[in-house]
Each structure stands twice: as structure tokens, then as C-alpha cells.
Structure 1
């Protein structure tokens, strides 16, 4: 998702000035009641049956997230390899991708490339902070060609043990009737949360659900997708993960990208994070070029690791419990420690000289409790996207999408914001 701009001054676009009078404002409950994650049983049953049929063919093998990370298909570096502008008071740390993933671009007119968006980790998946005793990180990428977006998507599963970084890429797929599958299309991976065995993937007005218990190693690595001739393949990926269910915030028949941030009841899910303080909630944020994006809390049923159905069933339509509007411009990600929100977005005037090429502008991380005006916590890497809160260590994680095909400019970072 590209970073947007503020107002035009002298031919250049600049960020808005900070306003001490504009708070993160809570919306009236009567408005919040209309925000829903809708679903129906037939969607889940159909996908469940199609997945079972694929697995019955013997053409895919179930594997664990740790095995994908430890395959060392790719090796990153266990440090922040590019300038970040993160305030050293917050003890910045993190890691980098290999050169191929650091420099990939969706502007190749023939083959296209990958751009990162969503972020989650084992600190979301389990209250202890690890899965199978290891710290794992997941990043979501969309694939585009010639400047386009949303052709299909992958998830990187990373192990970072502070001395080495290894990872593998998993294609997100949708099972089809007859015992096969296809690449999930029209998907931006706006945000992700790993919750128990589930992987929630935000996609505009849609919340897709995948499951780590159906993480497949395919039979061969080729450009085909699906089951054919007694084997399986996943568009040059060694692994694939099928969608098990989905929710939508508007009409079921509408396309996943049909939503207007900041208005209406069809909420845009532009980012995701998890809050385990009190009752578990999924926190979504809306990207809006100006101020006024909404932050929404959705209740989670820990017993089934899904949004809490309003009718008490295991799978059903869920209603938002609280919502807010933010004065932060171009909010790309939002996370919370249970008390305050951390929001990645445009830097206010005075924090960042906006260069002629907006791609060179650094982001800012703002913070505020509900009812308070946000203040800049620190500058952050260019085009910072999703944020994720690690409660076990009081660290805030993020990643950025900045495209630089010559030198790279992507990091996965964390800062210590514990009291």
C-alpha cells in the first residue's frame, strides 16, 4: 500500500501539521453495532470438503511452520541492514530479507514481483510467545506486474534466533471442487494475525482464514498450480496453504476491495493486529490518505480461535465491540498494548522534510490512548506497514514495503516501548 500525501505547498506535497486538539476519538456504540464480520456455514463447509478431498489424494504432505522456516530456502541477515530513523532510546532490533526479497518490485512489466504488507508472529499465536519452542515471524506479500497489485499472495515463515535468519515462502491457495486448488486471487494481504492455529488475512472488505494444520508441502516445484497427474504444484512454491473460511464486512457478492475507508458500514480491513489484554480482540485499522481512518476491535473466541459469533455458535457473524477514528494521516498499521494505540503513518509537519520523491520519505509511529491526541514516538523505516505488539517483552514490531531494486530498503524491526 503506497504512502499517501498531505497538502500541496510550492508544488510539493507535505504532511499535515500536528494538531494537539484532535484525539483518537471513540465512536458512538450505536454506530459500532453496524460493523460486522459476516459469514455463513455453507462457505466453511464447502472449503472444508474441498480441502479434505485434496488431502485424500496423497499429493500433498502436511508440515509444520517450523519446518518451513528451517528449510533455509532463503537466508536473511540478523540485523537492521538499512537506515531506519528509529529512535535509539527504544533499542531498535530486527532482521533483513535476502537480496532477492529485499529488492523485489511489482513494476516489472513482464514477470512482476513481490511486495510485503502484513506482519504477525508466534507472539500472537501463543500467549507464551513461541511455537514449538521457537520464535517465528510471518510476513505477507502480494504479487503484482507492471505497477499492478493483488495478483496472488504468499506468506514467509521466518525463524530468527538472533544469529541466523532462515525462511521459506508459502503460496496462499483456495481449494476447488474435484480435489484440486488454485492460487488465491485479488488479494493484497493488507494485514495478518496468527491466532492459535488460524491465520487471519485482511483483504479490504474481506477477512480470509487459513489454518496452520493444513500447511502443505507440494509434490513438485513448477509453474503450475493444483493437483494434476498424481502430483501437486504451487506456482514455483514448495509449500501452499488453503483457505478454510472467510468473512466479509459488506455484501457477500461484492468484490473484496469494495469499501470506503472512514465512512459507511462496510469496513475496510487495511491492517490487523492482536490484543490479548483482557478478552482477546482482533484490531483492524483503515488506511485513508487523510485523517479519519477507523480503528475497530472485534471479539475473538479463544476456544475455536475465530471471531466470536453473535448467536453463540462456533462459526457465525461477529459484531465489533468498540471503534475509534484517528487523526493520523495515511495510517498503514495499528497495534495496542491494551492501553494505548501505536499507529504507523505519515509524519506530521516538522518531523520529516518531504522529498520530491515521496518514496524517500520516512514514516512515523504515533501513539495515544483513546481520547488523547497522538504524538510521534519515533520516526520509522520508509513506507512502514503493519505493526504487531509483543506482550511477552514489551516490544513493538513492524515491517516496511519500500521498493529499491538497486540497494533494497526493507527491514523487519522492533523497538522496546515497555514502561
Structure 2
């Protein structure tokens, strides 16, 4: 997996594009304000059954932290061109990660930024999962459970599904876990995932599930091909 990484925190006129033209996400990704590292440079715990792949941020973004005395950045959300268009943007596969800035003394959420990354992995045919739009914690059961609700548009009408994810202390530890479930069936662990995995994004075009994590010094952007 090859990639180019840039963040959207610099002035619009700071890149190689003409000053009179507003840059596109592809412009920002290709400006290479930061250059990521190909491949998964840290242990992820992902199962090799699912053809894992991905890339790493540069060492600066890998190690920056809002909990440090001098302040720094923490990654949070992850989305991609496939979430907007179904596949590519301007013919390229782009990923966008959101970050927040803070320091140990003053607290978090002082600033925000968006990082754009271009990946050049091969596409693999696939089909889409349930479109989840909400998440809540149910403490009325033992063990507690996460409850997800399916997004439904007005034109789609009624029939949205609710998914329960029972929490299990045995699945916690140095890794996160990715679960899967079919309608009416109990969820199960699909694979371990990098510790503090923060967000997931599924590409219908390639059939790959993307994610990233926030663990300082162990950050990766990964993808797997779930069955």
C-alpha cells in the first residue's frame, strides 16, 4: 500500500496549486506536507485471513499527543472517497482523518485539523453491510451491551434494524476487536484490531473495511477484506 499524506491545516495558498484556484482534496493529499510510510509498521493483531493492508503516518504524526506537556494532536474520525462517491474522487482513492489538538495543562479540543491521504491499493469486488447511524450503551442487561440503530432515508421508509453488541471483558486488553453480526444472530469477534481503534469505514467498491487507531506511537491506517 503506497500513500501520500497531507493535512488541511495550512493556508489554502500554501500548496503547489495556483493561488487563484481553491484546492481540491486531491491537491492537498498530493502536496505532501507530510509523507506517510507504506505498510503496517506496527503490530495490529489483525487476522491474516482477511488480507490486511494499510499504511502509517509519518513519525511526527505517529508520536504526537494531546497528553504531552508541549501539546500535540490526536486522530479521531476516518472517512474516505468511497463514503461520498462509492469509490474514488477525481479518479483517486482518498482518505480523510480528523484530529484534535490540546496539551496536558490546558486540556483538549483547542484546535482541529483534517489529514488527506491518497492510497493506491487494488480494488476487490464486494457488497455493502448494514448502514449504522447511531450507537448507545444499554446498562439494563448483564453483561451490558452496545446498541446500534440502522440509518434509513425517508424514501426507504420503515424497517430499520437494531443491532446489539454484548460487551465481554474477555475481549478487552492490549487490542481492540472488530465484531460482525447477521440480522437475528448473535455478534461474534471477526478479528482483533489495533489498540484504541477509533473509526471504521467500509468501501462497497473494493469490499474492504478501513479503520485507524489513536494509540500514540503505534498508529496505523489499516484495511481488511471481511467475508
Which runs of structure 2 are paired with 1:60-139 in the superposition (5 Å)? 62-109=22-69, 111-127=70-86, 129-139=87-97
Q: State the 1:395 CA deviation.
A: 1.1
Which runs of structure 2 are paired with 1:5-404 in the superposition (5 Å)? 62-109=22-69, 111-127=70-86, 129-146=87-104, 148-161=107-120, 283-286=133-136, 291-300=144-153, 322=160, 324-329=162-167, 348-349=169-170, 351=171, 354=173, 361-403=174-216
CA–CA distance in 1 between the matches of 2:137 and 2:95?
23
Indicate the RMSD between aligned Cα atoms, in angstroms: 3.0
CA–CA distance in 2 between the matches of 1:415 and 1:145?
33
The 8 Å contact of residues 211 and 222 in structure 2, kept in 1 or not, is answered as: yes
The 8 Å contact of residues 54 and 222 in structure 2, kept in 1 or not, is answered as: yes
**Residues 85 and 146 of structure 1: is their aligned pair in 2 closer, same or farther, counting only changes over 3 Å?**
same
CA–CA distance in 1 between the matches of 2:101 and 2:51?
33
CA–CA distance in 1 between the matches of 2:62 and 2:175?
17
TM-score (normalised: structure 2) = 0.76
Unpaired runs of 5+ residues, structure 1, are 1-58, 163-275, 301-307, 310-318, 330-346, 355-360
* Number of aligned residues: 199
**Residues 320 and 154 of structure 1: is their aligned pair in 2 closer, same or farther, counting only changes over 3 Å?**
farther
CA–CA distance in 2 between the matches of 1:385 and 1:158?
17
Q: State the 1:391 CA deviation.
A: 1.1
**Residues 151 and 390 of structure 1: is their aligned pair in 2 closer, same or farther, counting only changes over 3 Å?**
same
Q: State the 1:383 CA deviation.
A: 0.7
The 8 Å contact of residues 88 and 94 in structure 2, kept in 1 or not, is answered as: yes
CA–CA distance in 2 between the matches of 1:348 and 1:89?
24
Q: State the 1:123 CA deviation.
A: 1.3
TM-score (normalised: structure 1) = 0.43
CA–CA distance in 1 between the matches of 2:110 and 2:27?
27
**Residues 328 and 152 of structure 1: is their aligned pair in 2 closer, same or farther, counting only changes over 3 Å?**
farther
Q: State the 1:348 CA deviation.
A: 4.7
Q: State the 1:124 CA deviation.
A: 1.1
Partner SS state of residue 57, structure 2: coil
**Residues 282 and 375 of structure 1: is their aligned pair in 2 closer, same or farther, counting only changes over 3 Å?**
closer
Partner SS state of residue 145, structure 2: coil
CA–CA distance in 2 between the matches of 1:368 and 1:85?
20
Unpaired runs of 5+ residues, structure 2, are 1-18, 122-126
Q: State the 1:157 CA deviation.
A: 0.8
The 8 Å contact of residues 115 and 143 in structure 1, kept in 2 or not, is answered as: yes
The 8 Å contact of residues 368 and 374 in structure 1, kept in 2 or not, is answered as: yes
Q: State the 1:378 CA deviation.
A: 0.7
The 8 Å contact of residues 128 and 203 in structure 2, kept in 1 or not, is answered as: no
The 8 Å contact of residues 194 and 213 in structure 2, kept in 1 or not, is answered as: yes
**Residues 325 and 144 of structure 1: is their aligned pair in 2 closer, same or farther, counting only changes over 3 Å?**
farther
CA–CA distance in 1 between the matches of 2:151 and 2:92?
28
